[in-house]
Amino acid sequence: MKDLRLFISDIDGTLTRSDKTISPAVVEAVHRLGAAGVPFTLISARPPSGLLWIAETLGITHPIGAFNGGTIVKPDGTVLHSEQVPADVVLQVLALIDRPDVTIWLFSHGRWIAQRPDDHYDDRERKSVSQEPTYDAKLEAYADSVDKIVAVSSDHAMLADLEAVVERAVGTRATVGRSQLYYLDITATRANKGDGVLALAQAFGVDPGQVAVIGDQRNDMPMFREAGLSIAMGQGPEEVREAATHVTASNDEDGVAQAIDSILLPIVALRGK
């Protein structure tokens, strides 16, 4: 990459540590990059409510990408663009993932709707989305306005098999993929991080080849393919690390800060020569 104009970061497992906090070292590095003239923004499987406090913490004033980039939103919460899962696909997916060892969540009209309480994953998600769930077993009632479906399970192998089942069933009518080993996400066809990067690049008025991205999971790989430069987190799966241009340290070792200082800022310095 010769010309860096935008840096886009995943959140969970990338920008945040395992405890969902952002370290001062990462905040300071993001500010250094901004001072060098390169804006920083976010893309995540999280809903907007889970991104806004991070945008405030980092001083982001530009558009950010929620639901894998299917929803482009301003840091004040104003939605600029939104892609939703077709109602017929919602109903089909709900039937496929309705299993005793799976808890189902929907995100609709800014709300987190859970099929039933889950003592472990509910608390984890509260930290991520900054809101409380609404419990409702009748999820079909929300089919006309779904931004994301999540199948939640601690059985990682089963969830991987279920991912393949859902992918075969819906084809190109939705995006299917795990954002974590325990979360299987179903979003709109264009609500994937590849299209999300293109949407954010357009919002910033830059070419995708001028964009650097960073992430840790398989759902980040589509943005690796679209950006001019890609960085994988050190703790990410081997296939994710192999798909990236560079590999940095883990999220608990402030890998985003390391990537900014050792990979991105030297590119910016060369631009001025």
109-127 pLDDT, tens digit each: 989 999 999 878 998 899 8
In the CATH scheme, what is the code of domain 87-187?
Answer: 3.30.1240.10
**H-type helices in 59-102, by residue range?**
87-97
Q: Please give the pLDDT value at position 119.
A: 79
Mean pLDDT of 218-234: 97
- Give backbone dihedrals phi and psi of 87, rounded to 5 degrees, phi first: -60, -40
The values of phi and psi at residue 146, to 5°, are -105, 125
First to last CA, the chain: 15
Domain 6-82+191-271 superfamily per CATH: HAD superfamily/HAD-like (3.40.50.1000)
Residue predicted with more confidence, 201 or 124:
201
> Residue 103: in which H helix or E strand, if any?
strand 103-108
DSSP secondary structure letter of residue 146: B
Region 159-177 average pLDDT: 96
Q: What is the pTM of this model?
A: 0.90
Region 69-95: mean pLDDT is 95
**The two three-digit tokens of residue 92, written as one number:** 């089909």
When pLDDT is averaged across residues 140-153 and rounded to a whole number, the result is 97
Give me the residue spans of the domains in the chain. Answer: 6-82+191-271, 87-187
Whether the per-residue pLDDT at 22 is higher than 80: the answer is yes
Cα separation of 42 and 64, whole Å? 5
Q: Which residue has the higher pLDDT, 124 or 144?
A: 144
* d(C-alpha 21, C-alpha 194), whole Å: 26
Q: Mean pLDDT over all residues of the chain?
A: 95
Given pLDDT bands bounded at 50, 70 and 90, which one contains residue 273?
low
